[in-house]
A and B are shown apart, each in its own frame.
Chain A
Amino acid sequence: MTSMHASRQMLLSPENITLRASSSRGMGLMLFGAICIAITFVMALMGNEDNHMNTVALHAFHVGMLVTIGFPLAALGANMIFHQFNAGWMGAMRRQFENMMCLIWVGALMFIISLAMQLATVMSDSVYLFHWMEMWADPSHRTELYEHKAAFLNLPFFLIRAVLYFIVWMGLARLLWSYSVKQDQDGDRWHTAHARKLSAPGIVLWGFTVAFAGFDWLMSLDYHWFSTMLGVYFFAGSMLSMWALTAIIFVSLRGIGRMSGVYTDEHLHDHGKLLFAFVVFWAYITFSQYFLIWYANIPEETTFFILRKEEGTLWQTLSWIIPVGHFIAPFVILMARPAKRSFKLIAVMAGFLILMHIIDIYWMVRPQAHDAPAFTWLDVVGIAGPLLFFFGALLRRIGSGPLVGVNDPRLDEALHHKNYV
């Protein structure tokens, strides 16, 4: 109760909402990530038909890239949703979502590195990440099924789409960020109105591009297979991991004595509700996809699950770990009200859910590397590279300015936010 009555000036004093200036913050993580990426790249070049390390490197890096892109992408969507709904309780939290959304460039960088890695493995051993690219490159290998999909699955259009996605994402993020920092300086309420106006078409563009990115980068790994749910699947997993990472950020900031009275257990409670909601949403989407395929039992659809449920001990094990760890356990643990109001428990669950999201993407991508050994040290390095680089960049960004958009017109409402149920 005391924090509720503390004055706005006290809550927004520099000691509470800025980090100590440090030029080296996050550099260690970024460097470590870069080293991991370099090792992955070298292994992609050194791999051969016997050890399949090139295939492992490609797939592991792809997992890391997709998880990494998911964070800023989901943060961008969350920001536009806050603006569109004029969400008052988010007033003081918005800046951290903005910090995250501005890192889409890390995703773009990883995408370019991934393309370079694919080019390298194709040149050295003609190992492809996307098998349809092999068919596109060599017409004599084409199957009838590929011919049907060639209008969409061809390299030029694939690259055009990717460029388009990144233009949309980086453009929206840049505009929203510029409104937000301009408001920090001049306090003009119109910036919020502009951001809100931009968000309406922005959400539509974002929704389509995220779904199609899921189709392009996840589903087309096996061009035989198709699921209209997959775009939403990618969205649901990314959103969940983004809520989890932002929860960890706020809990850590509170842990080092920042944002006290600004991010209270009331905000944590709602953050926990969103985590819980997306745990359920992810399960709903996942089951919807699995259920229809299971029921219809059509060979071209069931291949995806036969590979993961019947072949390979690791994939079978993960097929059980994921529903339990990604849904049942967090569902039961996060259901109770006291759980959502505990900083410690939310932080632990958030970390756990990010791990489950990585495993989920791993389970979707990695079995596609049929001949390669199931799990190697390179999987860890390949996934860790983009992620560590991203976490480092995020840390740098968080420390680079105030932790709160200090002139947000919704700030008062945010500081007094309270759950009445």
Chain B
Amino acid sequence: MSKETHQHGSANWGIMAEFDDVPAVYHAAEKCRDAGFRKWDVFAPFPIHGIDEAMGLKTSHVPKVVAMMAMIGISGALLLQWWTIGVDYQIPNGGKPLFAWEAALPITFELGVLLSAFGALFGMLILNTLPMHFHPLLKKERFLRVSDDRFCIAIEAKDPKFDIDGTRSFLESIGGRNIDVVEA
């Protein structure tokens, strides 16, 4: 099929290697990080404390998305209230100013929180490229065990340091087993 040869001129998505337990995959991740790989990931049946450090992951960008959404929520709410009750449809009420920050604050707060929550949830999903309906690794029968009792490191062909033989022997050298090429 034409799909199998895409722009990189390679039919492979990457290489996967299996590990038996947490220490093995943890230390292998440290070595992958130190070898300078960029497009790779660790797969495990449960969260591993400290794995982000071992993988050399930087802090996520979600907080920035949340901060931006909060700003939009706060300024949007203030604009909305100022325009509607202060300018467009003025209703004098109990001798209070037409537009007062006191009265505007609850809605400003709520909209700020609401958009922040949206930013946190959808920002997280988008940055994780979720929802993802298919992934090349799922074609591997062996890979299904990472949702049970296996750990796995997969290095993508897109990685600048990737070459099939070199990466295969590298994964072998860091203790990976059942090393397998994953087709795109």
- Which chain A residues have a beta carbon within 8 Å of chain B's beta carbons? 287, 290-291, 294-295, 297, 337, 418, 420
CA gap between A297 and B96 in the complex, in Å: 9
Whether B141 sits at the interface, judged by CB under 8 Å, is: no
Contacts A/B (CB < 8 Å), 17 sampled: A287-B105, A290-B102, A291-B102, A291-B105, A291-B106, A294-B102, A295-B102, A295-B103, A297-B94, A297-B95, A297-B96, A337-B59, A337-B63, A418-B49, A418-B50, A420-B49, A420-B50
Q: Which residues of B contact A337 (CB under 8 A)?
A: 59, 63
Given contacts A291-B105, A295-B103, A297-B96, 13 further A-B contacts (CB under 8 A): A287-B105, A290-B102, A291-B102, A291-B106, A294-B102, A295-B102, A297-B94, A297-B95, A337-B59, A337-B63, A418-B49, A418-B50, A420-B50
Q: Can you name the residue of chain A whose Cβ is closest to the Cβ of B67?
A: A335
**Majority secondary structure of chain A interface residues (helix, strand, loop or mixed):** helix
Task: Mark each residue of chain B from 32 to 67: 1 if its CB lies under 8 Å from any CB of chain A, else 0.
Answer: 000000000000000001100000000100010000
Q: Which residues of B contact A420 (CB under 8 A)?
A: 49-50
Q: Which residues of A contact B106 (CB under 8 A)?
A: 291
CA gap between A205 and B169 in the complex, in Å: 67
Q: Which residues of B contact A418 (CB under 8 A)?
A: 49-50
Report the tally of A-B residue pairs with Cβ distances under 8 A: 17
CA gap between A12 and B63 in the complex, in Å: 37
User: Closest CB of chain A to B158's CB: distance in Å?
Assistant: 28
User: Closest CB of chain B to A170's CB: distance in Å?
Assistant: 40
User: Closest CB of chain B to A129's CB: distance in Å?
Assistant: 31
User: Closest CB of chain A to B52's CB: distance in Å?
Assistant: 8
CA gap between A337 and B50 in the complex, in Å: 17
User: Closest CB of chain B to A279's CB: distance in Å?
Assistant: 15
Interface positions of B from 55 to 113, Cβ below 8 Å from A? 59, 63, 94-96, 102-103, 105-106
User: Which 9 residue pairs of A and B lie closest in terms of their CB atoms, listed nearest first?
Assistant: A294-B102, A420-B49, A291-B102, A297-B94, A287-B105, A291-B105, A337-B59, A295-B103, A290-B102
Q: Which residues of A contact B105 (CB under 8 A)?
A: 287, 291
CA gap between A256 and B95 in the complex, in Å: 59
CA gap between A420 and B47 in the complex, in Å: 11
Q: Can you name the residue of chain A whose Cβ is closest to the Cβ of B53?
A: A1
Q: Which residues of A contact B63 (CB under 8 A)?
A: 337
CA gap between A257 and B49 in the complex, in Å: 29
Q: Which residues of B contact A294 (CB under 8 A)?
A: 102
Q: Which residues of A contact B94 (CB under 8 A)?
A: 297
User: Closest CB of chain A to B123's CB: distance in Å?
Assistant: 15
Q: Can you name the residue of chain A whose Cβ is closest to the Cβ of B47?
A: A420
Q: Which residues of B contact A297 (CB under 8 A)?
A: 94-96
CA gap between A294 and B106 in the complex, in Å: 13
CA gap between A290 and B59 in the complex, in Å: 38
User: Closest CB of chain B to A384's CB: distance in Å?
Assistant: 35
CA gap between A295 and B103 in the complex, in Å: 8
Q: Which residues of B contact A291 (CB under 8 A)?
A: 102, 105-106
CA gap between A291 and B59 in the complex, in Å: 38
User: Closest CB of chain A to B109's CB: distance in Å?
Assistant: 9
Q: Which residues of A contact B59 (CB under 8 A)?
A: 337
Q: Which residues of B contact A295 (CB under 8 A)?
A: 102-103
CA gap between A420 and B106 in the complex, in Å: 33
CA gap between A418 and B52 in the complex, in Å: 13
Q: Which residues of A contact B96 (CB under 8 A)?
A: 297
Q: Can you name the residue of chain B whose Cβ is closest to the Cβ of A288?
A: B106
Q: Can you name the residue of chain B whose Cβ is closest to the Cβ of A335?
A: B67
User: Closest CB of chain B to A183's CB: distance in Å?
Assistant: 29
Q: Which residues of B contact A287 (CB under 8 A)?
A: 105
Q: Can you name the residue of chain A whose Cβ is closest to the Cβ of B51?
A: A420
Q: Can you name the residue of chain A whose Cβ is closest to the Cβ of B49?
A: A420
Q: Can you name the residue of chain B whose Cβ is closest to the Cβ of A290?
A: B102
CA gap between A294 and B50 in the complex, in Å: 50
Q: Can you name the residue of chain A whose Cβ is closest to the Cβ of B52?
A: A420
Q: Which residues of A contact B102 (CB under 8 A)?
A: 290-291, 294-295
Q: Can you name the residue of chain B whose Cβ is closest to the Cβ of A337?
A: B59
CA gap between A290 and B102 in the complex, in Å: 9
CA gap between A295 and B96 in the complex, in Å: 9
CA gap between A297 and B95 in the complex, in Å: 10
Q: Which of B102, B103, B106 neighbours the largest number of chain A CB atoms within 10 Å of its CB?
A: B102
User: Closest CB of chain B to A339's CB: distance in Å?
Assistant: 12
CA gap between A290 and B106 in the complex, in Å: 12
Task: Mark each residue of chain B from 98 to 133: 1 if its CB lies under 8 Å from any CB of chain A, else 0.
Answer: 000011011000000000000000000000000000
User: Closest CB of chain A to B66's CB: distance in Å?
Assistant: 10
Q: Can you name the residue of chain A whose Cβ is closest to the Cβ of B94?
A: A297
User: Closest CB of chain A to B65's CB: distance in Å?
Assistant: 15
CA gap between A4 and B135 in the complex, in Å: 38
CA gap between A16 and B184 in the complex, in Å: 57
CA gap between A287 and B63 in the complex, in Å: 26
User: Closest CB of chain A to B98's CB: distance in Å?
Assistant: 15
